[in-house]
């Protein structure tokens, strides 16, 4: 006989649509009823943070509106699937896939201890999104662990991003395809950074990136898919940057990232992170999973640099990365 209190049973009759959909799609009534302790579904479904609940096999049993907003995946696309099954596919800042080793959900279901971490999840559009995750075990009325509960919040520096977008829109400095800064805005920003370097000794880094074998990709998959790949790469670069960094489209399949006030070892590390995040991003097109990689040249601006010398050095380093096998970073201070 169930020991669920009558008051808690009444909650079942007032579930939000996402939970009702979960029941219809995956026959989850008994799981959801067992997991009701401590949860108020209507509240969860209205939170800005993403929330999802899995069973012991890590199949998704509940998927909130916030999760839809942050990831792009609807409840119909997520429910009943394993979170590692071409869905979230968390990676850490070094590009290590946490689904096979280091998964917070798997760990809390083993020892019942809460965990949190900063990771990058896979968005439906292919790019990576930085999020802060917090995971807890889900227990039934007898206290047995029956699954896991995870919240995740978008860690993109929202205010800085919104302010920059407003500036770019107002001055027509957005690239129309990728919606990141265009070449004109990059050149203006670079000029200002070089002036700061000479005046205040504020060093910065520059990373020049190029999508590997992009012409071959276009010839194989078509220009429309090629455009989607450029958008995916642009979003991944932008989301991997911080507030004082700038990701811009230089032209064609080339991108440039300005890294503000970074020590040399940090510039090298961030350039490598940019490369890994693109490598671990993908698009689903026509039943195919499509990947691309980038090659990069990274350097530190010097007091005697101008735009021509700085770009020339970065371009030379980029060429070296391509000639040595692609999907790599070459760095020189």
Q: How many CB atoms lie within 10 A of CB 324?
A: 10
What gap in Å lies between CA 333 and CA 321, rounded to an integer?
Answer: 15
What gap in Å lies between CA 304 and CA 36, rounded to an integer?
Answer: 65
Long-range contacts of 316-319 (CB under 8 A, 24+ apart): 317/208, 318/208, 318/209, 318/210
Tokens at 212, concatenated: 């590997």
Those residues whose C-beta lies under 8 Å from the C-beta of residue 192, and which sit 6 or more positions away, are: none
The separation between CA 252 and the C-alpha centre of its own chain, rounded to angstroms, equals: 23
Active site positions, annotated: 253
Whether residue 45 contacts residue 67, with contact meaning beta carbons closer than 8 Å, is answered with no
- Within 131-260, residue ranges assigned H as helices are 158-170, 183-200, 214-221, 223-240
Q: How many CB atoms lie within 10 A of CB 15?
A: 18
Those residues whose C-beta lies under 8 Å from the C-beta of residue 83, and which sit 6 or more positions away, are: 52, 54, 58, 60, 89, 99, 105
3-state class of 36 per DSSP? coil
């Amino acid at each position: 006989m169930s020991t669920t209190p009558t008051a808690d049973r009444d909650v079942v009759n007032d579930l939000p649509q996402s939970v009702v959909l979960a029941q219809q799609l995956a026959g989850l009534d008994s799981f959801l009823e067992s997991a009701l302790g401590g949860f108020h579904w209507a509240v969860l479904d209205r939170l800005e943070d993403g929330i999802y609940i899995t069973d012991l096999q890590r199949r998704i049993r509940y998927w909130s509106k916030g999760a839809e907003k942050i990831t792009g995946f609807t409840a119909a696309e997520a429910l009943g699937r394993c979170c590692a099954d071409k869905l979230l596919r968390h990676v850490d800042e070094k590009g290590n896939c946490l689904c096979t080793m280091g998964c917070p959900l798997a760990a809390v279901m083993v020892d019942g201890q809460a965990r949190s971490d900063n990771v990058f999840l896979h968005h439906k559009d292919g790019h990576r999104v930085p999020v802060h995750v917090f995971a807890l075990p889900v227990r039934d009325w007898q206290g047995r662990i029956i699954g896991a509960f995870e919240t995740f919040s978008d860690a993109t520096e929202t205010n800085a991003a919104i302010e920059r977008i407003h500036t770019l829109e107002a001055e027509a400095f957005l690239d129309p395809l990728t919606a990141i800064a265009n070449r004109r805005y990059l050149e203006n920003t670079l000029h200002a950074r070089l002036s700061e370097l000479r005046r205040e000794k504020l060093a910065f880094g520059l990373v020049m990136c190029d999508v590997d074998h992009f012409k071959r990709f276009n010839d194989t998959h078509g220009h429309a898919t090629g455009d989607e790949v450029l958008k995916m790469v642009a979003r991944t670069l932008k989301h991997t940057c911080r507030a004082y960094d700038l990701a811009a489209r230089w032209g064609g399949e080339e991108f440039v990232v300005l890294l503000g006030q970074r020590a040399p070892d940090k510039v090298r590390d961030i350039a490598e992170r940019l490369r890994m995040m693109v490598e671990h991003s993908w698009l689903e097109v026509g039943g195919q999973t499509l990947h691309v990689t980038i090659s990069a040249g990274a350097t530190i601006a010097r007091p005697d640099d101008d735009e021509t010398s700085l770009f020339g050095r970065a371009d030379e380093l980029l060429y070296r990365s391509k000639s040595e096998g692609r999907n790599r970073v070459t760095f020189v201070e």
